[in-house]
């Protein structure tokens, strides 16, 4: 509970409360059992210390977080501390080091295919480039961040993506585009209920209008931003809005109001400086407490080293169990004789398309029954018959795309399912390839050359509640029509032509 609350308080800007909750959670957590969770709590403490101005303490805590992770710092768990460290390096104007840390974090995200994490890294990169006065690079990083957030539907990162791009566009002088970004960002922030980023977005709007000397519009957006900042107790941004509103009212020659905002700015600045001074007076005590905690961590690390052999053995056992479970899962979904899918795989395919594709999407089925196979089984025995079935399965597999399913329905009957080849031309081409390849002679060691034919029926049906039943029934009707009309040929169910009519209309 304290872990989740610490995250919430951090994102809401309540850094003192977040740090206390992180400390409470650390007391209840086992470092050996959950080093990644321990590291994540230290990241929260580091961000809080950084946000409260205790930069050296934040740096030390972040270093401990990476030490706790060890080799896991190069996995998903290392992305957050690396990104925070890059942000701190940028604050210290060490932009080369910030770039290196972001490159390391991005390499991990790319290797593991972590789309959401990429968005957060790009957001930090845009801020760092902007702080470094590399405006065009900040704009480029912001655009990429926004594109990826939209593509992955990352509702958490989306308002921040609009905000960093908007801030960079203001500095680049693209004021209209900056406003468009900020307005879209405010809509996204309403969806995520993130009042803090709304402050940033209103500031982008107000600043863009101010730069164009449209002071009335600037005042309206800055006042909205001030309301958000005050409502979220976001004191640093409340201070920023006071100062910018003072400048705006001065430009409007409303000098009394400008003076009021300036006085409010001065009073709040005094309060923030007093709070920072008080925190600084406690810095020495905090450092001592941290060093004591660090000594405890060293002792616990020594205990972990002594149990390393046991942990390694346990990991090996778990890997063996995972491999065994994977094999069991594979066997459950694949035909033992041919290695292609079985009826359970067919059921899994229909579940997948129902969950993945919208209603009305067309799915095609080709049902294939071998001709003359019974005579081979009767005359040459089941061992040769099994070889024929395997050979046909291999030939059909060679015709499949990765997204399609090839199923052995049982005996000498096969099924092809596809969401891609549903048109007349594609189906006809595939059916002709099936008939051609199945008819190719087969040679087996110690046996005469064998040959079978195939009767195939194709159908197309739209995704709906009765997809599996209707599609297989239609394909079965077409396949038996092919058999009745002379075997070793294919037949198209009327549903194929119906789909063509629908496309034409």
CATH code linked to domain 115-193: 1.25.40.10
Cα–Cα nearest to 72, from 112, 118, 130? 112
Counting Cβ atoms within 10 Å, is residue 194 exposed (0-12), middle (13-18) or buried (19+)?
Answer: buried
Q: Which residue has the higher pLDDT, 488 or 323?
A: 488
Counting Cβ atoms within 10 Å, is residue 77 exposed (0-12), middle (13-18) or buried (19+)?
Answer: buried
Which distant-in-sequence residues (6+ apart) come within 8 Å of 311 by Cβ? Answer: none
Q: pLDDT tens for residues 114-162?
A: 777 888 888 888 888 888 889 999 899 999 988 988 888 888 788 888 9
Q: Is 188 helix (H, G, I), strand (E, B) or coil?
A: helix
Q: Which residue has the higher pLDDT, 499 or 112?
A: 112
Sign of the four-CA dihedral 220, 205, 199, 275? negative
Asked which of 165-169, 288-292, 387-391, 470-474 is least confident by mean pLDDT, the reply is 288-292
Q: What share of the chain is helix, strand, coil (3-state, %, to 5)?
A: 75, 10, 20
Query: pLDDT band at 415, cuts 50/70/90?
Result: very high
Model pLDDT, residue 358: 93
Q: Is residue 206 pLDDT above 70, yes or no?
A: yes
Q: Is residue 227 pLDDT above 80, yes or no?
A: yes
Average pLDDT, the chain: 84
Q: Which residue has the higher pLDDT, 378 or 3?
A: 378
- Is the Cβ–Cβ distance between 242 and 259 less than 8 Å? no
How far is the C-alpha of 463 from the C-alpha of 279, rounded, in Å?
63
For residue 73, give the DSSP letter: G
How far is the C-alpha of 94 from the C-alpha of 271, rounded, in Å?
30
CATH code linked to domain 1-113: 1.25.40.10
Q: Is residue 287 pLDDT above 70, yes or no?
A: no
Model pLDDT, residue 22: 73
What are the C-alpha distances in Å from 390 to residues 142, 398, 401, 411, 432?
54, 13, 19, 11, 20
CA Rg, the chain, in Å? 33
Q: What is the 3-state secondary structure (H, E, C) of 323-352?
A: HHHHHHHHHHHECCCCCCECHHHHHHHHHH
Tokens of 79: 């992305």
Cα–Cα nearest to 453, from 483, 415, 425, 488? 488
Q: What is the mean pLDDT of residues 234-252?
A: 88
How far is the C-alpha of 459 from the C-alpha of 156, rounded, in Å?
43
Q: pLDDT tens for residues 432-483?
A: 999 999 999 998 887 788 889 999 999 999 999 899 999 999 999 999 999 9
Q: Which residue has the higher pLDDT, 191 or 260?
A: 260
Tokens of 84: 């925070």
Query: pLDDT band at 299, cuts 50/70/90?
Result: low
Model pLDDT, residue 388: 94
Q: Is residue 400 pLDDT above 90, yes or no?
A: yes
Q: What is the mean pLDDT of residues 312-324?
A: 78
Q: What is the mean pLDDT of residues 398-422?
A: 94
- Is the Cβ–Cβ distance between 366 and 475 less than 8 Å? yes
Tokens of 371: 């001709």
Superfamily of domain 343-504: Reverse transcriptase/Diguanylate cyclase domain (3.30.70.270)
Model pLDDT, residue 82: 77
Query: pLDDT band at 305, cuts 50/70/90?
Result: confident
Q: Is residue 21 pLDDT above 60, yes or no?
A: yes
Q: Is residue 10 pLDDT above 60, yes or no?
A: no
**Strand 362-371 vs strand 453-462: parallel, antiparallel, or unpaired?**
antiparallel
Q: pLDDT tens for residues 321-379?
A: 787 777 878 888 999 999 999 999 999 999 999 999 999 999 999 999 999 898 888 88
What are the C-alpha distances in Å from 226 to residues 68, 216, 240?
40, 15, 9
Q: Is residue 295 pLDDT above 80, yes or no?
A: no
Model pLDDT, residue 184: 92
Q: Which residue has the higher pLDDT, 292 or 426?
A: 426
Counting Cβ atoms within 10 Å, is residue 223 exposed (0-12), middle (13-18) or buried (19+)?
Answer: middle
| Most confident among 62-76, 208-222, 277-291 (mean pLDDT) | 208-222
Domain segments of the chain: what residues? 1-113, 115-193, 307-333, 343-504
Asked which of 56-65, 207-216, 279-288, 400-409 is least confident by mean pLDDT, the reply is 279-288
Tokens of 501: 């009519």
Q: What is the mean pLDDT of residues 27-31?
A: 76
Asked which of 50-59, 211-220, 231-240, 432-441 is least confident by mean pLDDT, the reply is 50-59
Model pLDDT, residue 30: 77
Q: Is residue 283 pLDDT above 60, yes or no?
A: no
Hey, how many other C-beta atoms are within 10 angstroms of the C-beta on 97? Answer: 14
Hey, how many other C-beta atoms are within 10 angstroms of the C-beta on 359? Answer: 10
Tokens of 246: 């003072």
Asked which of 114-123, 246-255, 259-268, 494-503 is least confident by mean pLDDT, the reply is 494-503
Of all residues in the chain, the percent with pLDDT exceeding 70 is: 87
**Residues across the chain:** 505
Q: Do domains 1-113 and 115-193 have the same CATH topology?
A: yes
Q: Which residue has the higher pLDDT, 175 or 236?
A: 175
């Amino acid at each position: 509970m304290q872990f989740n609350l610490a995250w919430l308080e951090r994102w809401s800007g309540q850094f003192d409360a977040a740090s206390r909750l992180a400390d409470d959670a650390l007391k209840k957590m086992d470092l050996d059992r959950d080093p990644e969770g321990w590291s994540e709590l230290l990241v929260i403490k580091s961000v809080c210390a950084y946000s409260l101005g205790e930069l050296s303490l934040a740096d030390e805590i972040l270093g401990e977080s990476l030490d706790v992770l060890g080799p896991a710092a190069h996995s998903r768990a290392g992305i957050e501390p690396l990104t925070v460290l890059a942000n701190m390096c940028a604050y210290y104007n060490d932009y080369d080091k910030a770039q290196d840390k972001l490159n390391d974090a991005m390499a991990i995200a790319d290797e593991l295919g972590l789309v959401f994490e990429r968005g957060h890294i790009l957001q930090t990169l845009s801020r760092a480039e902007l702080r470094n006065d590399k405006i065009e690079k900040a704009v480029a990083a912001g655009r990429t961040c926004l594109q990826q957030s939209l593509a992955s539907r990352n509702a958490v990162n989306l308002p921040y993506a609009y905000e960093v791009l908007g801030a960079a566009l203001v500095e680049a002088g693209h004021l209209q585009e900056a406003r468009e970004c900020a307005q879209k960002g405010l809509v996204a922030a309403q969806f995520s209920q993130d009042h803090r980023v709304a402050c940033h977005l209103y500031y982008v709007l107000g600043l863009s209008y101010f730069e164009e000397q449209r002071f009335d519009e600037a005042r309206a957006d800055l006042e909205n931003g001030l309301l958000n900042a005050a409502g979220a107790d976001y004191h640093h941004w409340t201070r920023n809005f006071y100062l910018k509103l003072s400048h705006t009212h001065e430009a409007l020659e409303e000098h009394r109001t400008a003076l009021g905002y300036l006085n409010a700015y001065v009073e709040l600045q005094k309060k923030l400086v007093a709070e920072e001074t008080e925190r600084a007076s406690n810095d020495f005590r905090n450092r001592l407490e941290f060093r004591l905690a660090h000594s405890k961590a060293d002792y616990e690390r020594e205990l972990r080293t002594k149990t390393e052999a046991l942990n390694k053995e346990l990991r090996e056992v778990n890997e063996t169990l995972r491999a065994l479970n994977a094999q069991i899962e594979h066997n459950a979904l694949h035909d033992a004789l041919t290695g292609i899918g079985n009826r359970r795989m067919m059921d899994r395919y229909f579940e997948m398309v129902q969950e993945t594709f919208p209603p009305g999407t067309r799915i095609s089925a080709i049902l294939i029954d071998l001709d003359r196979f019974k005579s081979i089984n009767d005359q040459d025995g089941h061992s040769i018959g099994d070889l024929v079935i395997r050979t046909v399965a291999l030939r059909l597999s060679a015709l499949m795309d990765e997204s399609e399913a090839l199923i052995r329905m049982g005996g000498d009957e096969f099924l092809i399912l596809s969401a891609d080849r549903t048109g007349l031309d594609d189906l006809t081409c595939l059916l002709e390839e099936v008939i051609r390849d199945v008819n190719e002679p087969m040679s087996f060691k110690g046996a005469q050359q064998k040959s079978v034919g195939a009767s195939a029926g194709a159908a197309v049906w739209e995704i709906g509640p009765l997809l599996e039943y209707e599609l297989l029934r239609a394909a079965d009707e077409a396949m038996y029509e092919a058999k009745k009309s002379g075997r070793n040929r294919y037949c198209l169910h009327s549903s194929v032509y119906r789909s063509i009519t629908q496309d034409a209309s």
